[in-house]
Amino acid sequence: MSSKIALNIVSILPAHSHGAYTLVLGEENGNRKLPVLIGAFEAQAIAMEIEGIKPSRPLTHDLFVQAMQALEVEVEEVMITDLQEGIFFSKIRCKKGFDSFELDSRTSDAIALAVKFHCPIFVDPKIMDEAAYEGDKTEVESVDSPGRMAHEELIPGSKTHAGLEEHSMEELEAMLEEAIRDEDYTRAAKIRDEIKKRTK
């Protein structure tokens, strides 16, 4: 058996706990899903990166990315290494020049950084055996087309989105810049989707 299993982000769903979300990770070459409870801030950071929305000012994870890049540190992978009393433990594996090192991290932060650095996410096989469940890809919606509820809840600020089709591309691009500047990420996502639809 492999010493690690590759995971992909499948979905981010509201959890039963107030202000928490369930990040569903699916094994790359299998049908099992691993649910990880994460906070709203980390869920928002992951959702915004997946949506391609950039905040007007750097958020905490963005600042960490900038620091790592300024120090010429590469993030090679994220590894979920342990599960104790329902809490996942993770390592961020980094490289600087010829030196490699690991950073101990909350799993939610590690995955948020994996998304930002576009690096792979792995899990120890024994954790999948202990905490994963069998499931169809259809039972949770893929983040490539996030559900409306998760999208609306994770990206703050909401204004009317009607009538975007009536605007020109130039107007849409100006509106997108304004929405990002105002940190109205829900509207920014809608405008971006309208722009993408026209450029296909």
Over the stretch 103-137, which tens digit does the pLDDT of each residue have?
999 999 999 999 999 999 999 999 999 999 987 54
Model confidence at 155: pLDDT above 60: no
pLDDT band at 18 (very low <50, low <70, confident <90, very high): low
- Bridge partners of 11, per DSSP, are 24
pLDDT band at 17 (very low <50, low <70, confident <90, very high): low
The residue with greater pLDDT, 36 or 179, is: 36
**DSSP H helices in 71-134:** 107-117, 125-131
Mean per-residue pLDDT, 31-39: 92
Instruction: Determine whether 64 is exposed, middle or buried from the number of CB atoms within 10 Å of its CB (0-12, 13-18, 19+).
Output: middle
What are the angstrom distances between the C-alpha of 180 and each of 49, 57, 165, 168?
A: 13, 9, 19, 18
Mean per-residue pLDDT, 53-78: 90
The residue with greater pLDDT, 190 or 148, is: 190
Share of the chain above pLDDT 70, in %: 82
The model's pTM is 0.69
Contact (CB, 8 A) for 188 and 176:
yes
**pLDDT, averaged across the chain:** 81
Q: Is the dihedral of CA 52, 180, 42, 78 positive or negative?
A: positive
Q: Considering only CA atoms, which of 15, 119, 128 is closest in space to residue 82? A: 128
pLDDT recorded at residue 126 = 95
59: left (phi over 0), alpha (psi -120 to 50) or beta: beta
pLDDT recorded at residue 53 = 81
Mean per-residue pLDDT, 81-100: 94
CA distance 51 to 108: 18
